[in-house]
Structure 1
Amino acid sequence: MEKTIAGPEAAHIPKQRGDSLPEAAVRYAEERHWDVFPGTWLEAVDGVHRCSCGQADCPAPGAHPAQDDWATQATGSATVARRMWSTQPTASILLPTGRTFDAIDVPETAGFLALARMERMELTLGPVTLTPDRRMQFFVLPGASAKVPDLVRNLGWSLSSLDLVTLGEGAYVAAPPTRYGSRGAVQWACRPTPANRWLPDAEELISPLAYACGRDR
């Protein structure tokens, strides 16, 4: 069963599983062997959802690291993840990049355009997230951060001219069903399945992604 998310490109997003945040965090560690760590969470203040960090102008309310040493706290153990979320079950689920995967981050409009092109090219995709702030993140093999600038340049583009960012070591992505303030929850545009356990290399996806970002300028 599918539900449709409106956008400039018609996009069919798989129906999301109804896991709670703790259940999803444990499943990512247990089934995908992804490192996970709890981030901030949303708190209702006078009927308004605010970030637990306390900043009224927080750019990612409820969806960023709660501590500076988050990289050392990330765990691939389902047991440890279960214990972490038992103390704060509403904490966001954050996945460090640069370990089991990197992520190529593009605008939602470019992401949907690239997905349609990748389907025509019969490319094998890894998981892809869709965030409430209208970004899409394509999971690829680690090491993409070092490769992408040259790959984009070889395609005739300047990376600085494209709204395309590679997230590697020292960065992270928010995983479903993490919520961003009142904007909604992170969803899977391409959810993790046994078929996409083996991730593509950035080189396989960069052409349609760069083309889509160039069109989206």
Structure 2
Amino acid sequence: MGVTETAPIPKQRGEQLLDHAVRYAEERHWDVFPGTWLEAEDGKELCSCGAADCAAPGAHPVMQGWAASATGSATTVRRMWQKQPRASILLPTGRTFDAIDVPETAGFLALARMERMELTLGPVALTPDLRMLFFVLPGAGAKVPDLVRRLGWSPSTIDLVTRAEGDYVAAPPTRFGGRGAVQWARRPTPANRWLPDAEELINPLAYACGREAAAARARRA
């Protein structure tokens, strides 16, 4: 009589968050810290911070001194998520990476162009609020505004933002309340361990953002 194979039991969400947080620390050497989480109430998912008008439900720091709690120690990460398994995974920028934050439509346009140009790319994340985050070397915050202006645009008018020192990004599989989960458009792999400099990517990113901004103005006219 043959042995019947059983399907693996799916991991609970808290276990998934813990596994991902540990891998970011161990495999990428990224600092990690836990944020707020989602709680079900009256059929809705509300942020654990308790604010009804929370701008990022389930995906922001719990306390003001969050920067000091960020760690690259897998042991400490395990201890943090064992205390609150549902906590979002937040990554401080300005340490091992910065992130160039653009509208999703512009990001996909730029990503396709970068791939045609065979540019070196790091991880790229998609957020539920329709943004795309391109991971680049630290220092982008200081240079990106001038780089964009040299190309003939203002960062604010084309909706191009740099996440640098003092800021953070939410990492997959963190969920924003009612809007789904952060996902990878380009996953972290050994092949993209070495991040590009912001200067290498800014031309296609600024072009795509400028094009999308112009299209949006034309629609409003």
TM-score, normalized by length of structure 2? 0.89
Q: Does 1:135 align with 2:135?
A: no
Counterpart residue number, 1:174: 170
CA deviation profile, 1:6-56 (whole Å, cap 9, x unmatched): xxxxxxxxxxxx970011000000000000000000000112110000001
Note the C-alpha offset of 1:115: 0.4
The one-letter code of the counterpart of 1:153 is R
- Identity percentage over the alignment? 80
Counterpart residue number, 1:192: 188
RMSD value over aligned CA atoms?
1.0
Counterpart residue number, 1:38: 34
Counterpart residue number, 1:203: 199
Count of paired positions: 200
CA deviation profile, 1:49-71 (whole Å, cap 9, x unmatched): 10000001111000000011100
Q: Secondary structure at the match of 1:20?
A: helix
Q: Secondary structure at the match of 1:95?
A: strand
Given candidates 36, 52, 55, the residue that maps to 2:48 is 52
Counterpart residue number, 1:21: 17
* Structure 1 spans left out of the alignment, 5+ residues: 1-17
CA deviation profile, 1:46-105 (whole Å, cap 9, x unmatched): 121100000011110000000111000000000000000001001000000000000000
Q: Does 1:160 align with 2:156?
A: yes
TM-score, normalized by length of structure 1? 0.91
Q: Quick one: distance in 1 between partners of 2:156 and 2:125?
A: 23
Note the C-alpha offset of 1:159: 2.0
Equivalent residue runs for 1:104-115 within 5 Å: 104-115=100-111
Counterpart residue number, 1:14: none
Given candidates 140, 143, 149, the residue that maps to 1:144 is 140
Counterpart residue number, 1:11: none
The one-letter code of the counterpart of 1:78 is A
- Runs ≥4 in structure 1, deviation > 6 angstroms? none
Q: Secondary structure at the match of 1:142?
A: coil
Counterpart residue number, 2:80: 84
The one-letter code of the counterpart of 1:23 is D
Q: Quick one: distance in 2 between partners of 1:161 and 1:67?
A: 31
Q: Quick one: distance in 2 between partners of 1:159 and 1:71?
A: 26
Counterpart residue number, 1:212: 208
The one-letter code of the counterpart of 2:104 is E
Counterpart residue number, 1:124: 120
Note the C-alpha offset of 1:154: 1.4
Note the C-alpha offset of 1:161: 1.7
Q: Quick one: distance in 2 between partners of 1:33 and 1:129?
A: 17
Q: Quick one: distance in 1 between partners of 2:182 and 2:193?
A: 20
Q: Quick one: distance in 2 between partners of 1:78 and 1:89?
A: 15
The one-letter code of the counterpart of 2:182 is V
Q: Quick one: distance in 2 between partners of 1:24 and 1:139?
A: 17
Q: Quick one: distance in 1 between partners of 2:114 and 2:195?
A: 14
* Structure 2 spans left out of the alignment, 5+ residues: 1-12, 214-221
